[in-house]
Amino acid sequence: MWQAISHQLSDVLGKPFKITEKEPLEGGDINECYCIGDDNDRFFLKLNDRDLLMIFETEAESLRILNEADCIQVPQFLHLGTSRDKSFLVLNYLPTKVLDNDAAYTLGQELARLHSWGEQAEYGFDLDNYIGLTPQPNKWRRRWCRFFAEQRIAWQLQICQEKGIDLGNIDTITSRVIDILMHHQPKPSLLHGDLWHGNTAVTVTGPIIFDPASYWGDRECDIAMTELFGGFPQTFYDGYQSVWPLDEGYQERKELYNLYHVLNHCNLFGGSYISQAEHSIKKLGLLK
């Protein structure tokens, strides 16, 4: 495997690259992650089973469009490949630290600029991708209420049901989500899509975001997720508000948007996330 990676990177770089350094890095629950290098260059490597190549392909597309927006620093794509039994994604390597208050403020400003970038008439993405290991459908829709209700909440509920997790009648919940968002038709914004604090850091060149699950949607979805798993420094929200203040009603929509990620954690991990989802569905009044 390592020899295959070396050979492929040599072709991409146009010069010999023989791995002499491979340092394991923390990479979450899904992939093996390494810093690899020879005597001259170092790269970030994500590694998984060969049949999960599609996850890396869709991540590379999210990184491509985020790089095109050029509003926030994201990893630079170098190579996507396979060996006999593994798939891998190679990105540039940058040492990182946890966001401090100043970097968080800058990140908030940059995220607001990302959300205002581009002109897109519909909600969705040019391809379906993944949120963690869960497929994420992104078929284009003109109405935000239908996109979010059908391709986010109903989709996750269906997966839950297939796994034996019954959280209520899917049609009833979906209809109620449509009702709640019926009159909310925000500008489609390019989203990171999985913006919890573990997918952010600061480098010597400023804040960076990574592991995206991008699509065009309501910017509030990104902001809501920042409040779900541990939260961001207050300066992040101050920075965001200084560029593009949030709309009235965000606080009411926040828990509904985060239900999507809670449901995804139900499907990935089960356990306490099931009761958390049940509580949110009841609190939001999604069942009669």
Is 194 designated active site? yes
3-state secondary structure of 93: coil
| DSSP-assigned letter for residue 84 | S
Cα separation, 111 vs 131, whole angstroms: 19
- Burial zone of 49 (CB within 10 Å; 0-12 exposed, 13-18 middle, 19+ buried): exposed
Per residue, the 3-state secondary structure of 98-155, as one string, reads CCCHHHHHHHHHHHHHHHHCCCCCCEECCCCEEECCEEECCCCECCHHHHHHHHHHHH
Centre a 10 Å sphere on the Cβ of residue 12 and count the other Cβ atoms it contains.
Answer: 14
Rounded alpha-carbon distances, angstroms, from residue 276 to 29, 153, 167, 264, 286 = 20, 15, 11, 12, 14
DSSP state letters, 151-220: IIIIHHHHHHHHTT---S-HHHHHHHHHHHHTT--PPPEEE-S---GGGEEEETTEEEE-S---EEE-HH
3-state secondary structure of 231: coil
**Which of 100, 171, 194, 211 is an active site residue?**
194
Residue with tokens 């839950």: 160
For the CA atoms of 120, 265, 64, 17, the dihedral, rounded to the nearest 10 degrees, stands at 180
Positions marked active-site: 194
